[in-house]
Amino acid sequence: MIALLLMPGCAALISQADNSGVTEVGWTVVPFATLALAGAGERAAGSTVTVSFTLPRPSAEDLARGYLEIEDALTLVARSNVDWVILVRTPDPDLGRSYDGSYTKPLSDFQLRVAGGDFLTISNADQTLSRGRRGEHELAIDYRVLLHPECYRPGDYGLKLIYTITCE
């Protein structure tokens, strides 16, 4: 009997032996990362998650303070076998218009952050919201809307946010 050492791309004669062979097997682990909304199940998971957010009407206290803040507006779950980055952007040109059409709320009035971090102003370009290491991480996201009491008009305000996870 002759035993063969089988390796990808080559076969080598080892020696005379019994009716057996040796095979070397290798594989590659491909980097992956997924993003999901906590509590939304698989319907809201993938490399990109889109969220629509309608701004609530501010209270008198919000107007006096100059902003409306919504803590833990949503929770993102990042899962990855490599280091990752979460980017955020909006495709919308603004936050909407007042009911009377006299005021357009600019994108620069909408800010968001990972809880405990610094607020960043939303834009149409991808911006880094968070970075992390491999594993599973829950990220509570806070929203802040700047208010300008002197020009605020009730309206239909909101925007679409696109969160994307990429491997570093």
The arithmetic mean of pLDDT across residues 64-70, rounded, is: 93
pLDDT of residue 56: 87
pLDDT 10s digits, 96-126:
999 999 999 999 999 999 998 999 999 999 9
**pLDDT band at residue 88 using 50, 70 and 90 as cut-offs:** very high
Residues 6+ apart with CB under 8 A from 127: 87, 88, 89, 120
pLDDT of residue 18: 63
Concatenated DSSP letters for the chain? -EEEEEETTEEEEEEE-SS--EE-----PPP-EEEEETTSGGGGEESEEEEEEEPPPPPHHHHHHTEEEEEEEEEEEEEESS-EEEEEE---SSSEEETTSS-EE-GGGEEEEETTS--EE--SS-EEEEEE-SEEEEEEEEEEEE--TTT---EEEEEEEEEEEEE-
Concatenated DSSP letters for 132-148? E-SEEEEEEEEEEEE--
Give the mean pLDDT of the chain: 84
pLDDT of residue 2: 42
Place of tokens 């509590």: 39
pLDDT of residue 52: 83
Domains of the chain: 1-29 (no CATH), 33-167 (2.60.40)
The pTM of the full predicted model, rounded to 2 decimals, is: 0.79
